[in-house]
Amino acid sequence: MATKMVWHKVLDNLEELPEGRVMSVTAGHQGICLTHFEGQISALDNACPHQGGPLGEGSIENGLLRCPWHGWDYHPCTGKAPGFDDGVDTFLTKVEEGVVYVGIEEEAPHEDTVSDLMVETMVNWGVNKVFGMVGHSNLGFADAMRRAEEAGKLNFYGIRHEGAASFAASAYGKLTGKPAACFSIAGPGATNMFTGLWDAKVDRAPILALTGQVATQVVGTGNFQEVDLVRAFSTVAEFNHRVQNNSKHAELMSLAVKHAILKRDVSHLTFPDEVQELPKPANAEAQTPVDRITPLQIAPPKESLDKAIGMFKNSKRPVIIVGHGARFNMEAITSFAESINAPIMTTFKAKGQIADDHSLGCGVLGRSGTPIASWFMNEADLLCVFGASFSNHTGITDHKPTIQVDFDPLALSKFHKIDAAVWGEISVTVNLFKEALAGQIETVDQRPEVAKRWAIWRSEKAKRLLDDRGEGVSSITIFDELSKQAPKDAVMCVDVGNNAYSFGRYFECKKQTFLMSGYLGSIGFAYPAAMGAWAAVGDSRAVIAVAGDGGFCQYLAELTTAVKYGMPIKLILLNNSELGKISKEQRAGEFDVWATDLSNPNFADYANSCGAFGIRVDKKEDVKAAMQQVIAHNGPALLEVITDASLI
């Protein structure tokens, strides 16, 4: 059957290709070397048959087209190699009113590849947000994602640094409990993702890492950008495999996503270049999660449950401490706390899981916290800890009778012996507590004391608001104002450093959700995390990033990503031209302050140059109006505040 010829416009004006010149164009999916030689316009296959060198980047010398890579010669019109019987294919051309067309036989319909099969499986399992960078060793998989995106099944966000991709995916996992994917080429693209993957791993966030790889036939030869990625990822990935031509491709993707979800960990798949474009095996079907994941509502063993209930019955002043692991169970925990008059405090990672204006809310415990939380912990006769890790930063005392509830048995009594270590799904366990203690416990109503302690702390904050050394705005001024202006259900992404300590201490939360780099404590987290948060919530909730100048500069270019995709992220940037927390630690350690000063641009001007909205203030009285402008702006915006590094 005769094939249909399709004419593609490749050049709007013949004058753009003078006599004796060549150029690269594309006709459909066919790369073309377009030549103008001896008055004739010709079209040759753009790939030199030796190593694929782009002939359209070559030149005509002595009447022959020379490949720019290895100097092989071809006739500019016929594509023949003089002295040999090989050459490159040619295609029909025509010129109409100065416009150049190339004729290509109609392409056959797309046949699904291994990549299409794996992308469909990935999407079926709910992984439909991908952050990454397309490059030469992941093009086949990228093309499958393009088709999925065009079908409305997936969103791909092209970032400027692969580290931002993994941070964004980590934040997505922390916020939703579901994995997103980060995507890179082989070699440096893959290794750039390590920091964000470790952030996800240590904070127990599900994440899927997808990396390209050099062709299988050159693995082990020291090929360009070759890194043994399975071996390299072995320390960070719970599930870690190379996709092969004879793999059970859909099953491999299913297991990768399943491990990420159930283990709350990193899964990694790496795709050799040639495997990505292999035809989908006959009879292979995309997998789904139907009947592949068991319900996780596990009740605790009776022995530990009874022991914990007995401890509650003997308590008069119990308190509840919640960590990030309890973030999806707060309705049940709050109801339980109300039934037994127990104040609730949070770890820093769990900030906002109970509103500061709740009658039992005591804010954050530990180094980034409030004196309210520490006072109630010290006055308690029983601690009940849900989904927290007992890190040094939080400082949960080991001198009080303690109940610990966690889904992970390895987290129980991890650092010291716990009086009642209860293994079970948190919402199930807390409801069992509530049922067993109904009418069986008499506790002190601590609500009046909570209100009193908040009044004392707010009085102290009012005094600190008056501090002004004339060297910049104080952190408390910024976060006092942000407490008033931030939408009550915003997602707040926080960096590390003094800005984070001040944020934890001074920002009074309502129903906001907070994301941070917890155990890893990685600088630069906030802005990429905000991109991941926006991918999760879209425009249904405000997304606000809080960072210092040191942290934001780590991924400064991602502001252009937010502009490209219309992410209305608001950045509150504290600029003190210093790594202030490190200077503080140097002084505390009796070292000289050294190498912590920073040379910064005008960040507001930078934001405006990127197509965002930027505004800069250096006076306390200007903060309110400037913050109102930034939060109200319809699009990405940045508020740069020149701050005093000492007023934290």
**What's the CATH number of domain 114-277, 3.40.190.80, 3.40.50.970, 3.30.720.110, 3.40.109.10?**
3.40.50.970
Residue 519, phi-psi category: left (phi > 0), alpha (psi -120 to 50), beta (remainder): alpha
Q: How far apart are CA 442 and CA 633, in angstroms?
A: 51
* Complete edge-to-edge strand list for the sheet that includes strand 30-37: 5-11, 99-105, 90-96, 40-45, 30-37, 21-27
Secondary structure (3-state) at 252: helix
Alpha helices in 17-150 (DSSP H): 114-124, 139-150
Q: Reduce the secondary structure of 493-539 to three states and give it as a string.
A: EECCCHHHHHHHHHCCCCCCEEEECCCCCCCCCHHHHHHHHHHHHHH
Distances (CA, A) of 618 to 51, 225, 292, 553: 58, 46, 56, 19
Q: How far apart are CA 372 and CA 363, in angstroms?
A: 7
pLDDT in tens, 405-429: 999 899 999 888 999 999 999 999 9
Distances (CA, A) of 114 to 185, 480, 489, 580, 647: 17, 53, 42, 50, 57
Which candidate, 387, 385, 410, places its Cα nearest to that of 396?
Answer: 385
* Complete edge-to-edge strand list for the sheet that includes strand 266-272: 155-158, 129-132, 181-184, 207-213, 266-272, 239-242
User: Can you read off the two tokens belonging to residue 225?
Assistant: 């950008």
For the question of whether the overall pTM of this predicted structure is more than 0.85, the answer is yes
Give the model's pLDDT for residue 220: 75
Task: Sort 203 into a burial class: Cβ within 10 Å, 0-12 / 13-18 / 19+.
Answer: buried
pLDDT in tens, 226-273: 888 999 999 999 999 999 999 999 999 999 999 999 999 999 999 999
How many other CB atoms sit within 10 Å of the CB of residue 132? 30
Topology of domain 5-105, CATH: Rieske Iron-sulfur Protein (2.102.10)
| Residue 173: its H or E element | helix 162-176
CATH 3.30.565.10 fits 465-642, yes or no: no
Decide if 565 contacts 157 (C-beta within 8 A). Answer: yes
Residues near 415 by beta carbon (within 8 Å), at least 6 away in sequence: 390
User: Can you read off the two tokens belonging to residue 57?
Assistant: 């980047």
User: Using N-to-C axis directions, what is the helix angle for 114-124 and 249-263, rounded to 10°?
Assistant: 30
Residues near 69 by beta carbon (within 8 Å), at least 6 away in sequence: 48, 50, 51, 53
| Residue 191: its H or E element | helix 188-191
Q: Per-domain residue ranges for the chain?
A: 5-105, 114-277, 302-449, 465-642
Give the model's pLDDT for residue 295: 86
Give the model's pLDDT for residue 2: 57
Decide if 526 contacts 547 (C-beta within 8 A). Answer: yes
302-449 and 465-642: same fold? yes
| Residue 431: its H or E element | helix 426-437
Give the model's pLDDT for residue 215: 79
Site of tokens 């390209």: 212
CATH 3.30.200.20 fits 302-449, yes or no: no
Handedness of CA 7, 11, 15, 17 (dihedral sign): negative
Which candidate, 364, 370, 322, 325, places its Cα nearest to that of 342?
Answer: 322
DSSP 47: B
pLDDT in tens, 173-190: 999 999 999 999 999 999
What's the one-letter identity of residue 238? E
Long-range CB pairs of 482-486 (<8 Å, 24+ gap) are 482/507, 482/544, 482/546, 482/572, 482/627, 483/507, 483/508, 483/509, 485/624, 485/627, 485/628, 485/631, 486/512, 486/542, 486/544, 486/631
Alpha helices in 32-95 (DSSP H): none
Site of tokens 């930027």: 614
DSSP 177: S
Q: How far apart are CA 406 and CA 430, in angstroms?
A: 11
Write out residues in the chain with pLDDT < 50, as ranges. 1
